[in-house]
Amino acid sequence: MNNLPNRRQQGFTLIELMIVVAIIGILAAIALPAYQDYTVRAKISEVLAKGAEAKTSIAEFLTATGHLPQTLTSAGVAATGYGLTGGPAWTVSGTSGYLTLKTTSNTTQFPAAAAGKTFLLSIQSTTGGVIVWKCKVGSGTMPQKYLPGNCR
């Protein structure tokens, strides 16, 4: 009749292993770029947090004097120490102004696409001594996809 011995399969076949490796490769190819963008956005959020000290000082100056400061120094903001290139820059035009935040050019802290780029924190309103800030690219050079959700 049948002279072949009955063999039990032990382990996985080569084709099964190749399919698993292919699936893992596809998932990694999709997930890696999304994760890289996420880490850049997290670093940009740190830059925003460092700019919060300047925002607070400007708000205190407005409350005390009734107008926006002409310079960051007059509002008591240090020009350095933010982990940014040269600290924040302040521009005033009448009753509005904006902070320009520039990331360092150090590509170990930021990827090349976000290193040395700028974005703005602009004043939308100063009604009743309350400042409403808006984060945006504006005339900055930061790619939109790297800004946190509240800036896009």
Domain boundaries, the chain: 14-151
Rounded CA gap, 101 and 54, in Å? 11
According to CATH, the topology of domain 14-151 is Glycoprotein, Type 4 Pilin (3.30.700)
Using 50, 70 and 90 to split pLDDT, how confident is the model at 21? very high
pTM, two decimal places: 0.67
Instruction: Express each pLDDT in 29-44 by its tens digit.
Output: 999 988 888 888 888 8
Exposure string over 79-96, b if 16+ CB within 10 A, otherwise e: eeebebbebbbbeeeeee
* Residue 99, burial from CB neighbour count under 10 angstroms (0-12, 13-18, 19+): buried
- Mean of the per-residue pLDDT values for the chain? 81
Rounded CA gap, 140 and 123, in Å? 15
Residue 83 reports pLDDT greater than 60:
no
Sheet of strand 96-102: strand arrangement: 89-93, 96-102, 118-125, 132-136
Instruction: Express each pLDDT in 90-137 by its tens digit.
Output: 777 666 788 888 887 777 777 888 888 888 888 887 777 678 888 888
